Amino acid sequence: MIELTPWWGALLLPPVLAAFAVAAAVFDSALTARAAGAPAPRAAAGAPLRAAGGLLLQQRRRTLAADAPLWRGAGITLAAAGVLASLVTPLGRWAVGDLSVGIVWFNAMEIVAWAAVWLAGWGANSAFGLVGGYRFIAQGLSYELPHMFALTAPAIGAGSLRVADVVSAQDGLWFAVWMPVAFLVFLATVLAMAFRRPFDHPVSRDTAGGVLAELSGVDRLVFLAGRWLLLVSGAGMAVALFLGGGAGPLLPAWLWSVLKTAAVLAALVWAGHRLPTVRMDRFAELAWLVLIPATLLQALFVSIVVI
């Protein structure tokens, strides 16, 4: 059974997510270093933290006629959304928030990225930034509906939008086992909402980093942190909705949650190293004509099973 933590649980939520984010960044950097044949893979482990320190040191910059409030607000908004998306995700038996519509809450917080990324692209008064921002909206229009249908499948299976109910409904069998399409689409859309490769076209090198093109210093650090936090929140939600949350033998529930989230996160980062960047001129049709019908059929299958 999942219990609500006292108020200090809310204080632990950001640090826990940040720890996952750092671990994922370390894994990502180790994979890059291995592929590049750089010496001392151990040095790669420290690279994300050293990079963060470097960004604290780096001079901030403001471009000509930039829309500064909207631009600076984008990173903070993204970071806040990344943390709040995990409000209803249980860690083992504890959850910081418990809403009867927890799944919808996660959905709403994750949508905040639409606004944040577009604003980051708009704010700098830079042609490349703008192109990146608009690419993300096109991406959102493509991944969001499959994402929502993937979210409804476990809700139908559990007959509830409360995340705790979804976790306990997987007592016998994890939803990932009998809702594989929804699970895989959910994972893909988590990569898309955190605009990580293969869905990194909004920050791709062909536009000199897209929405990231003009960001430097601590502004860049906050935005990138928000992006990792969003990915961690997505991985955590995947564990709660599809992999039985904290369920598992021998080990305590919280440790199972941690291990499963780490595994999902590692799989997502690894997939990013294996797949090329997906452009929306190709993906939009695939999302609308293959992923939406596939997730709908999955939802139909689940609802036939529950009645």
Choose the binding region for other proteins from 176-184, 193-201, 230-238, 241-249 (rule: CB under 8 A).
193-201
Q: Residues 244-283 vs other proteins: string with x where CB under 8 A?
A: -----------------------------xxxxxxxxxxx
Shortest Å distance, C-beta 58 to other proteins: 5
Please check whether residue 172 is in contact with residue 179, taking contact to mean a CB–CB distance below 8 angstroms: no
Q: Residues 19-58 vs other proteins: string with x where CB under 8 A?
A: -------------xx-xxxxxx--xx-xx--xx-xxxxxx
Written as six digits, the tokens of 286 are 């695939």
Question: Of 142 and 257, which has the nearer Cβ to other proteins?
Answer: 142
Shortest Å distance, C-beta 20 to other proteins: 15
168 binds other proteins (CB under 8 A): no
Determine the 3-state secondary structure of 251 from DSSP: coil
Question: Of 88 and 243, which has the nearer Cβ to other proteins?
Answer: 88
What is d(CA 236, CA 193) in angstroms, rounded to the nearest whole number?
14
178 binds other proteins (CB under 8 A): no
Position among 160, 233, 257, 261 found at the interface with other proteins (CB under 8 A): 160
Q: 64 to 123, contacts with other proteins by CB under 8 A?
A: 64-65, 67, 69-70, 75-76, 79-80, 83-84, 87-88, 96-101, 103-105, 107-108, 111-112, 114-115, 118-119, 122
236 binds other proteins (CB under 8 A): no
Please check whether residue 122 is in contact with residue 133, taking contact to mean a CB–CB distance below 8 angstroms: yes
Position among 212, 230, 232, 243 found at the interface with other proteins (CB under 8 A): 212
Annotate 92-135 with three-state secondary structure: CCEECCCCCCHHHHHHHHHHHHHHHHHHHHHHCCCHHHHHHHHH
Question: Of 43 and 177, which has the nearer Cβ to other proteins?
Answer: 43
Question: Based on the number of CB atoms within 10 Å of its own CB, is 181 exposed (0-12), middle (13-18) or buried (19 or more)?
Answer: buried
Position among 92, 192, 197, 227 found at the interface with other proteins (CB under 8 A): 197
Q: How far is CA 141 from CA 23, 134, 166, 189, 251, in A?
A: 30, 11, 27, 11, 41
Tokens 């990792």 belong to 228
- Please state the length of the chain: 307
Shortest Å distance, C-beta 250 to other proteins: 30
What is d(CA 180, CA 173) in angstroms, rounded to the nearest whole number?
12
Question: Of 105 and 256, which has the nearer Cβ to other proteins?
Answer: 105
Please check whether residue 228 is in contact with residue 48, taking contact to mean a CB–CB distance below 8 angstroms: no
Position among 2, 13, 232, 241 found at the interface with other proteins (CB under 8 A): 13
Write phi, then psi, for 91 (nearest 5 degrees): -110, 105
Shortest Å distance, C-beta 183 to other proteins: 17
Neighbouring CB atoms inside 10 A of 306's CB total 11
Written as six digits, the tokens of 284 are 């939009």
Choose the binding region for other proteins from 10-18, 180-188, 235-243, 259-267 (rule: CB under 8 A).
10-18
173 binds other proteins (CB under 8 A): no
Question: Of 1 and 56, which has the nearer Cβ to other proteins?
Answer: 56
Shortest Å distance, C-beta 102 to other proteins: 9
What is d(CA 63, CA 70) in angstroms, rounded to the nearest whole number?
13
What is d(CA 305, CA 301) in angstroms, rounded to the nearest whole number?
6
